[in-house]
């Protein structure tokens, strides 16, 4: 690992390459039972690894769990509060447990309640809160000690679509406004793709891939770029011309949407293929109305990665 990478690494899992950097949202992606929660518990010093190492802010959670907990905010997958107490009272109780001075705690409570959008309900009993409100209160609870790292286990589970959007927007705001590092686990692939800067894929207790969605697509994808093209009605059949474009491996029409799906191989030829398609369309008066490259689907990437591991393909385990 280069020295500049060492400076940026906030959380290290096992070995260089499996790192969470300062100021990013990093997603631990995997099915239930894949090892996400166990990894989080090891990072917090709540359980010991059978092998390997982890570092949080340069600290060893096994040797100094209290030092880690002082700098890390944590929200478990099942958030628990005292229902007969208000949101503010629950936060005040957490502040006392963390030995935060009273005046500072009160000011911090006002700040975090505002950040999570609960100021108007802060003095209502928690038993009246919706699931989404409880999740937001859980984030406020994790923020009360002003942590450097925020770790969230399934933060959007069982929340309605509007609540999910609010939680994801909140996480982006925390990174943008506070420069915070967020590590979240989830099995909801679409949400991870929307909010996370980078992703670690877990399968069968192993971290088998780390990177941006584009990087993971290169590692686990089929080596092709995928384009969509549409043509105005009444134009000549574009299929023969499209299939003659260098790099276009196949061109198929969706009869329902009238959208052409083009597979370009290798993926690195995507830009030149798009230019060639536009030139061919103009030269043959095909009346091209749109042409775009499809972003790789994290769902497809995950499925390919896990299937490759299951079948014993050459998937390199991170940190091996």
* Tens digits of pLDDT across the chain (320 residues): 333 343 445 666 554 457 888 899 999 998 888 888 888 999 999 998 888 888 898 899 999 999 999 999 999 988 889 999 999 999 999 999 999 999 999 999 999 999 899 999 999 999 999 988 999 999 999 999 999 999 999 998 878 888 888 889 989 998 988 888 999 998 888 888 889 999 999 888 888 899 998 888 888 877 888 999 999 988 789 999 999 999 999 999 999 999 999 999 988 899 999 999 999 999 999 999 999 998 878 888 888 888 766 555 444 444 43
- 41 and 116 belong to one structural domain: yes
Whether residue 302 is contained in a domain is answered as no
The domain of 175 spans: 3-218
- 193 and 231 belong to one structural domain: no
Q: Is the CB of residue 198 less than 8 Å from the CB of residue 27?
A: yes
- 165 and 96 belong to one structural domain: yes
Computed from CA positions of residues 104, 110, 113, 116, in that sequence, does the dihedral angle turn out positive or negative? negative
Burial class (CB in 10 A: 0-12, 13-18, 19+), 283: exposed
Q: What is the pLDDT of residue 140?
A: 95
Q: Is the CB of residue 188 less than 8 Å from the CB of residue 17?
A: no
Separation of alpha carbons 291 and 289, rounded Å: 7
Nearest to 214 by CA among 260, 270, 253, 169: 270
DSSP state of 86: B
Helix, coil or strand: residue 170: helix
Q: What is the pLDDT of residue 19?
A: 85
| Token output for 270 | 């995507």
Separation of alpha carbons 252 and 53, rounded Å: 49
Q: What is the pLDDT of residue 159?
A: 83
- 238 and 156 belong to one structural domain: no
- 187 and 267 belong to one structural domain: no
Query: 174: which residues sit within 8 A by CB, 6+ positions away?
Result: 115, 143, 150, 180, 182
Whether residue 119 is contained in a domain is answered as yes
Q: What is the pLDDT of residue 203?
A: 84
Distances (CA, A) of 155 to 149, 221, 271: 15, 28, 38
Counting DSSP H helices and E strands in the chain, the numbers are: 12, 13
| Token output for 86 | 């208000």
Q: What is the pLDDT of residue 144?
A: 94
Q: Count structural domains, the chain.
A: 2
């Amino acid at each position: 690992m280069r020295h500049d990478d060492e400076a940026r690494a906030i959380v290290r899992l096992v070995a260089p390459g499996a790192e969470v950097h300062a100021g990013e949202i990093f997603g631990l992606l995997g099915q239930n039972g894949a090892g996400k929660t166990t990894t989080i518990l090891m990072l917090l010093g709540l359980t010991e690894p059978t092998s390997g190492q982890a570092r949080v802010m340069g600290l060893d959670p096994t040797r100094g769990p209290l030092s880690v907990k002082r700098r890390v905010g944590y929200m478990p997958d099942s958030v628990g509060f005292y229902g007969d107490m208000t949101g503010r009272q629950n936060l005040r109780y957490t502040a006392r447990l963390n030995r935060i001075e009273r005046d500072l705690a009160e000011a911090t409570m006002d700040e975090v309640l505002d950040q999570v959008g609960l100021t108007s309900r802060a003095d209502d009993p928690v038993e009246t809160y919706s699931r989404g409100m409880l999740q937001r209160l859980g984030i406020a609870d994790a923020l009360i000690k002003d942590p450097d790292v925020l770790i969230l286990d399934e933060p959007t589970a069982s929340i309605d679509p509007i609540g999910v959007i609010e939680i994801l927007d909140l996480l982006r705001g925390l990174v943008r406004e506070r420069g915070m590092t967020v590590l979240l686990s989830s099995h909801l692939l679409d949400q991870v793709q929307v909010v996370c800067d980078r992703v670690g894929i877990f399968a069968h207790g192993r971290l088998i891939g780390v990177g941006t969605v584009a990087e993971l697509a290169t590692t686990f994808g089929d080596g092709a770029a995928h384009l969509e093209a549409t043509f105005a009605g009444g134009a000549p059949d574009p299929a023969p011309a499209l299939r003659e474009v260098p790099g276009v491996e196949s061109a198929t029409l969706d009869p329902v949407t009238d959208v052409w799906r083009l597979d370009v191989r290798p993926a690195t030829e995507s830009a030149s293929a798009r230019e060639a398609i536009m030139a061919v369309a103009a030269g043959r008066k095909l009346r091209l109305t749109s042409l775009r490259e499809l972003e790789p689907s994290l769902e497809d990437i995950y499925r390919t990665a896990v299937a490759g591991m299951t079948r014993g393909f050459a998937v390199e385990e991170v940190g091996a």
